Structure 1
């Protein structure tokens, strides 16, 4: 069936989730950490994005429980909302790790991860907008880009950990950086899960 128009309440809620995710990813990527005190501000702001995303997801669940008919299958609406929420949760958790470990200088690998994730969030937002406009054929292109970016992140993770064990001598730093690399790669995996969900929706509704 697909969404009739952008006025559909589920379309609006999914758009809200995707826009909040994009804004959160942009903030995560663009915020400049100058000193340790900035980490608390950074982490708190990401927590705000995460709380806002949760409220949208709760609204989706409430509307699904009340709706007699939905524009696409209920489980697909919920899966899309939850998979986007996982991405934002991952970003918030990683911001908390930066604060916990007092890391203000992201290395080149972290920056590459974050650039790719920011681009994924942009593609997700565009795909959800296309879904609300019933441009199902265009969604596939965004999903492919997201999957390509996830593959890039796989490579970054391998390079980052190899470099970490080669150049870093402080065992505590190794543990901290490895955890952050793994979290960032996991966020890319969450983005791929969004792409998979979008492709499932296209396949069912084309």
Structure 2
């Protein structure tokens, strides 16, 4: 019978790869915040593509490690679920960045930066939650989960405020549709962070 030390020792690779995925997701949100803080600059998309590539590499390594490993520190389904949730964060962020680079000339006066800041903070909490999986500390994970919920609620409030611009009367139908699309993409990115945090929290609940 394998000891817990043996199981967790052999599982270090999974924790390291999940860390890589979470950090890549966080880096994509940092890049988005930087882009939206300086809307006058021509947006560069390389940082988003690089973060997405790093996330994809980590996801592929996790999938291969699951095939190669007989023992995992937590259930395989949980590892797959968390890897999948993390993968969706930079994917959604890159989607926003690509569209913003094309349409920013039609978004004058719309300040997305405060919402992007909340997204960056949420992704940072996800990084901490993934790191905490090594320790399976329920109390610490609960604190992080509560922080993530507060950030999600605040981000939702800020995004709701943006809807005032839609109904301000100064936008034509095309601009209103465009703005609504950006709201939805950004809101989904924040939701992706929340989903990843929920998976991490549930893993600790299951194993505590």
- Give deviations 1:98-155, integer Å, cap 9, x for gaps: 01213475733x2221111110011011111111244343112111111221122222
Instruction: Output the CA distance in 1 between the equivalents of 2:165 and 2:59.
Output: 39
2:28 aligns with: 24
Q: Distance in 2 between matches of 1:169 and 1:30?
A: 26
Aligned pairs (5 A) from 1:1-206: 4=8, 8-31=12-35, 32-35=38-41, 38-39=42-43, 41=44, 43-103=45-105, 107-108=110-111, 110-206=112-208
Mapped partners of 1:50, 1:167: distance in 2: 37
The 3-state SS of whatever aligns with 1:107 is: coil
Per the alignment, do residues 106 and 139 of structure 1 end up closer, same or farther by CA in structure 2, a change over 3 Å counting?
farther
Contact residue 10 and residue 71 of structure 2 kept, 8 A = no
Q: TM-score, normalised by structure 2?
A: 0.87
What is the CA–CA distance in structure 2 between the aligned matches of 1:194 and 1:202, rounded to whole Å? 13
C-alpha distance 4-137 of structure 1, shift in aligned 2 (>3 A): farther
Q: Which has the larger radius of gyration?
A: 2
Q: Quick check: 4-13 or 112-121, which moved more?
A: 4-13
Q: TM-score, normalised by structure 1?
A: 0.88
Distance 1:190 1:154 in 2: 13
**Structure 2 unaligned residues grouped into runs of 5+:** none
> Match of 1:166, SS?
coil
Aligned-residue offset at 1:45: 2.2
What number of residue pairs does the alignment pair up? 201
Name the CA shift for 1:127/1:27 in 2 (closer, same or farther; >3 Å): same
Instruction: Give the secondary-structure state (helix, strand or coil) at the position aligned to 1:132.
Output: coil
Residue-by-residue CA offset, 1:12-69 (whole Å, 9 max, x unaligned) = 001111111222211211233434xx22x2x232122111111111111111111111
**Conservation of the 8 A alpha-carbon contact between 2:11 and 2:73:** no
* Residues 123 and 5 (structure 1), Cα distance of their counterparts in 2 relative to 1, 3 Å cut: farther
